[in-house]
Amino acid sequence: MEETVLRLEELLFPSIADIAVLSVDVNDEVVLIEARCTMAGADCVGCRGWSERVHSSYPRFPADVPIAGKRVRLCLRFRRFICGNALCERRTFVEQMAGLTRRYGRWTERLRSTLAAVGLALAGRAGARMAGVFGVAVSRRTVLRLVEALPDPDPPVPRVVGVDEYATRKGRFYGTVLVDVETRRPVDLLPDREASSLAAWLAERPGIEFVCRDRAPFFAEGATVGAPQTVQVADRWHLWHNLSEAAERCVAQHRSCLGVLVREPAESAVVASPPETTGSPWPTGHRFADRIRDRHATVHTLLAQDTADARSAASST
Ligand SMILES: [Zn+2]
């Protein structure tokens, strides 16, 4: 029997020392596990002094990760100890079960880390829905708070760093995103896109060899000032983007030559219903709007031709 209890404790609390399972009660939805700490005393939270003088005790019911599809609720009896240190500002203190609970926590530490992992993967709203699937009622804001409370990762200094801007509100507020080009992982975010901010960030990381950036002057200046030892290169995405924009401008300027070829098969029909006489509420004279209007007319003309051809084919058979 004793061996069974030990195995049960190992199963339920594999990394928690000094804990005894008193009872396990299972109903249709919830597994209720009653447990207590087996240490004779505890360290005072004020002066770190040891005390075994029990003042009182009370139960707490933190939620835990589910078992076999059922929600788990612990019933932990916590003792309040008297601190014997006359110089300590605390007269009593409550014990904590290291690795299992924290002060004022309504979840176990492993449920807290599980919810934080869900939040990292899915963020607030979807994370809260996923938590509901395994029986934990939690708001999206709480999921986000758990993610924000995680310590910041400390990625290694990249050898090739990509620099670009990001918008928190497009057209109004911009920051700078820094990416490890070799791992394709974001490394850091700066709250603005000032040359001085980028220069300060680069100056703290002398191991950087290449800065991959667009042609914005503030990034060029920041990289030159903060990391003069690096080689600056224009990144491939911006080169292709600039090239495609130039090609589009060039084609648009010569579209009158191309338009004849494109519209030729439907010329007669287009002339029959020119876009300017369709009563369109949109203004004419804008190059982009005129292109869209011409394309719309051409599509409908071809559609009408196809329908007429299909009808004549059907009537002839
Ligand atoms: Zn104390």
Given a cut of 90, whether residue 313 has pLDDT beyond it is no
Residues 94 and 143 placed together within one structural domain of the fold = no
Q: What is the pLDDT of residue 269?
A: 45
Distance of CA 40 from the midpoint of ligand 1 (Å): 16
Residues 12 and 65 placed together within one structural domain of the fold = yes
Distance of CA 159 from the midpoint of ligand 1 (Å): 50
Full residue range of the structural domain in which residue 28 is found? 2-106
Residues 213 and 177 placed together within one structural domain of the fold = yes
Distance of CA 91 from the midpoint of ligand 1 (Å): 7
Report, as an integer, the average pLDDT of 297-309.
90
Residue 246 domain flag: no
Residues 133 and 187 placed together within one structural domain of the fold = no
Query: Which of 186, 210, 238 marks a domain boundary?
Result: 238
Distance of CA 112 from the midpoint of ligand 1 (Å): 28
- Specify the pairing of strand 50-51 against strand 42-43: antiparallel
SS3 category, 67: strand
Distance of CA 56 from the midpoint of ligand 1 (Å): 16
Residues 55 and 87 placed together within one structural domain of the fold = yes
Distance of CA 81 from the midpoint of ligand 1 (Å): 10
Report, as an integer, the average pLDDT of 282-301.
81
Q: What is the pLDDT of residues 209-234, one digit of tens each?
A: 999 998 888 999 999 999 999 999 99
Residues 187 and 262 placed together within one structural domain of the fold = no
Residues 131 and 181 placed together within one structural domain of the fold = no
Residues 191 and 220 placed together within one structural domain of the fold = yes
Distance of CA 20 from the midpoint of ligand 1 (Å): 26
Distance of CA 36 from the midpoint of ligand 1 (Å): 22
Q: Which of 111-120, 242-251, 253-262 has the lowest mean pLDDT?
A: 253-262
What are the φ/ψ torsions at residue 41 (nearest 5 degrees)? Answer: -150, -165
In percent, the amount of the chain with pLDDT more than 90 equals 54
Q: Which of 104-113, 178-187, 195-204, 268-277 has the lowest mean pLDDT?
A: 268-277
Report, as an integer, the average pLDDT of 297-306.
92
Q: What is the pLDDT of residues 265-290, one digit of tens each?
A: 544 444 444 444 555 555 666 777 88
Residues 261 and 290 placed together within one structural domain of the fold = yes
DSSP 232: E
Model confidence pTM above 0.95: no
Query: Which of 75, 106, 137 marks a domain boundary?
Result: 106
In percent, the amount of the chain with pLDDT more than 70 equals 90
Residue 154 domain flag: no
Q: What is the pLDDT of residues 157-192, one digit of tens each?
A: 999 999 999 998 888 899 999 999 999 999 999 999
Residues 97 and 14 placed together within one structural domain of the fold = yes
Residue 74 domain flag: yes
Given a cut of 80, whether residue 305 has pLDDT beyond it is yes
Distance of CA 85 from the midpoint of ligand 1 (Å): 6
Residue 194 to residue 176: CA distance in whole angstroms: 8
Distance of CA 98 from the midpoint of ligand 1 (Å): 18
Q: What is the pLDDT of residue 270?
A: 45
C-alpha neighbours within 13 Å on the C-beta side of residue 148? 7
Given a cut of 90, whether residue 3 has pLDDT beyond it is no
Residues 118 and 102 placed together within one structural domain of the fold = no
Report, as an integer, the average pLDDT of 255-265.
62
Given a cut of 60, whether residue 292 has pLDDT beyond it is yes
The answer to whether 76 and 99 are in contact (CB under 8 A) is no
Distance of CA 96 from the midpoint of ligand 1 (Å): 15
| Edge-to-edge order in the sheet of strand 160-169 | 185-190, 173-180, 160-169, 210-213, 231-234
Residue 277 domain flag: yes
What are the φ/ψ torsions at residue 26 (nearest 5 degrees)? Answer: -120, 130
Estimate to the nearest angstrom the gap between the alpha carbon of 222 and the chain centroid.
28
Residue 38 domain flag: yes
Q: What is the pLDDT of residue 268?
A: 46
Domain count, the chain: 4
Residue 282 domain flag: yes
Residues 121 and 217 placed together within one structural domain of the fold = no
Alpha-carbon distances, residue 141 vs 107, 118, 130, 184 (angstroms): 16, 13, 14, 29
Q: What is the pLDDT of residue 271?
A: 46
Distance of CA 95 from the midpoint of ligand 1 (Å): 12
Residue 289 domain flag: yes
| Residue 173 β-bridge partners | 169
Q: What is the pLDDT of residues 135-149, one digit of tens each?
A: 889 999 999 999 999
Q: What is the pLDDT of residue 230?
A: 93
Given a cut of 90, whether residue 260 has pLDDT beyond it is no
- Specify the pairing of strand 54-60 against strand 173-180: unpaired
Residue 247 domain flag: no
Distance of CA 49 from the midpoint of ligand 1 (Å): 6
Q: Which of 73, 7, 79 is nearest to 36 (CA)?
A: 79
Estimate to the nearest angstrom the gap between the alpha carbon of 228 and the chain centroid.
33
Distance of CA 305 from the midpoint of ligand 1 (Å): 91
Instruction: Output the average pLDDT for the chain.
Output: 86
